[in-house]
A and B are shown apart, each in its own frame.
Chain A
């Protein structure tokens, strides 16, 4: 097995915030292409962390450098969620790609995202031609940011139900809390109007993006086939001329539950697909 070098550091992201970076880089085996990973939103990031780290190490051991980083106000990065917007994260992703090139000397890259991170990767379709990714790896992508933030806000109701345990929730819901106080606290995360609006500004734009470069969609669920929405999305991309591959992995939706440590099949299909770029 190749011993990969690993480097942790901060770099300057949007608004000059210091963003945490983790570079997996196999110096001894070099491929001409690497991977930049973009994480999901809020607790989904924590729940999926170990699986992503294991997948990143597996990819790096095959000679593909992998660059992971934390968006503004997330993980180890500077700032708080109540001072961040989706626009900041898009800028963070641009900076991260720049740093990936600087640190590895590798010019071609694949953009890999899970859930919201996959949505952000899709939104980078509008970047300058000379800095386009060679391909996209979308793990269970979020294609509608408005729906995603709505569903997240609804978690405050679920947590109140759990707390009260009698099924009758008397507290105000997160949307009302946000309207009155400007910020709603949902399972410990502060969601400001500003952040909420920035999700809505993106809305379902990722659904309409049709990349010209190869795209891998990995669907993960306990079912034996991909969700209808992902199948339809893949069909739509195919009709628009995107070279798309849809893979389904039957596994726990690991971004939505704790105590998940590995999703070997998702990592394996991804690595197999990446190897086509050599």
Chain B
């Protein structure tokens, strides 16, 4: 429908509920061998915040990459109550099953996701490696209260107290001095006193450890490309969590996992130049993953 792209709305079933998605297949492709699945993150629908997933799909399709973006159980048009990212696995499995029925059983998938969708993709892929060709994860969500406090001190206050403009405003009382110091102290307290708190409280009030996500990345024997925004506390927190896991360094040495950074980008790539960079890095990642082939990488 758009240039050389065929877009098709589809319905499939998961847990007796109807889920909905859009297939983007380039006109030049009759039967795709690989499809990139876009798993939604946060409270988003399959179009993405500011239509990010629509534009990404159309961009990739223009470069002969087939994509499938869908609403998991309870989100967007799909039936059911919102289940949260920890429970997106069955929807992802149903999406892959649908693609196999629709195309052919040998079809492989690359999962692309942002924020807590990236965490869901890692958790799913680690235990269901059969048809996974690789992952492209953007600003993965592995937040703890302690982690946020630490990341705030390190990445926010660390930078701010060396920022001339900030110091000038602070000294000239253009900023609320009391509130700034109070906020910093609160973050220090949180970072210190939540040291035993290793869980994330998610929106659905279920808990799980961020280490699970990092361990999942390690367990997965497929290439993983991680795209990180430099102006995003979620991305900064993810890097801090990575550093806690010594064993994952081997995966970086072997290039199983490669990080890319988008300077000045925020969490959802609102800025047009950040979005362009995200699209080209995604295309590059997909091409790399395809060139590696289906063999395990570690």
Contact = CB atoms under 8 A, between A and B. Distances in A.
Nearest to A262: B81
Contacts of B269: 188
A190 B272 CA distance: 9
Instruction: Give the size category of A's interface with B.
Output: 35 or more
B174 interface: yes
B250 to A, nearest CB: 36
Interface string B239-278: 0000000000000000000000000001011111001000
Given A10-B7, A261-B82, A76 B169 contact: no
A15 interface: no
Interface stretch (B38-46, B93-101, B206-214, B288-296): B38-46
B266 A50 contact: no
Given A8-B11, A50-B82, A259 B203 contact: yes
A82 to B, nearest CB: 11
Interface in A154-177: 159, 163, 165-168
B266 A78 contact: no
A271 to B, nearest CB: 19
Interface in A202-226: none
A185 interface: yes
B49 interface: yes
Interface in B28-67: 42-47, 49-52, 54-55
Contacts of A256: none
Interface in A21-66: 22, 42-43, 46-47, 49-50, 53, 57
B185 interface: no
A83 to B, nearest CB: 12
A76 B76 CA distance: 12
A53 B75 CA distance: 10
Nearest to B52: A188
A223 B42 CA distance: 28
B198 interface: no
Chain A, interface SS category: mixed
Given A8-B10, A163-B266, A259 B47 contact: no
Interface in A63-119: 74-76, 78, 80-81
Nearest to A53: B77
B47 A46 contact: yes
* A47, A49, A187 pick with most chain B CB within 10 angstroms: A49
Given A10-B7, A76-B54, A78-B1, A43 B49 contact: yes
A49 B166 CA distance: 39
B165 A50 contact: no
Given A8-B11, A188-B270, A261-B81, A163 B231 contact: yes
B18 A76 contact: no
Interface string A208-248: 00000000000000000000000000000000000000000
Nearest to A70: B47
A150 B292 CA distance: 50
Nearest to B231: A163
A273 interface: no
A22 B50 contact: no
B165 A259 contact: no
A247 B43 CA distance: 28
Interface string B177-219: 0000000000000000000000000010000000000000000
B121 interface: no
B9 interface: yes
Contacts of B52: 188
A53 B76 contact: yes
Contacts of B271: 185
A6 interface: yes
Nearest to A79: B2
A258 B54 contact: no
Interface in B70-97: 74-77, 79, 81-82
Interface string A131-157: 000000000000000000000000000
A196 interface: no
A163 B42 CA distance: 20
B77 A159 contact: no
A18 B1 contact: yes
A78 B169 contact: no
Given A8-B20, A18-B1, A261-B82, A166 B11 contact: no
Interface of A: 6, 8-10, 18, 20, 22, 42-43, 46-47, 49-50, 53, 57, 74-76, 78, 80-81, 159, 163, 165-168, 185, 187-190, 258-259, 261
13 contacts: A9-B9, A10-B7, A20-B22, A43-B50, A50-B74, A75-B47, A76-B47, A78-B2, A166-B165, A166-B169, A185-B272, A187-B270, A188-B49
Interface of B: 1-2, 7, 9-11, 18, 20, 22, 42-47, 49-52, 54-55, 74-77, 79, 81-82, 156, 160, 165-166, 169, 174-175, 203, 231, 266, 268-272, 275
Instruction: Rank and list the top 6 A-B pairs by shortest CB-CB distance, nearest first.
Output: A188-B50, A8-B9, A258-B43, A188-B270, A18-B1, A49-B45
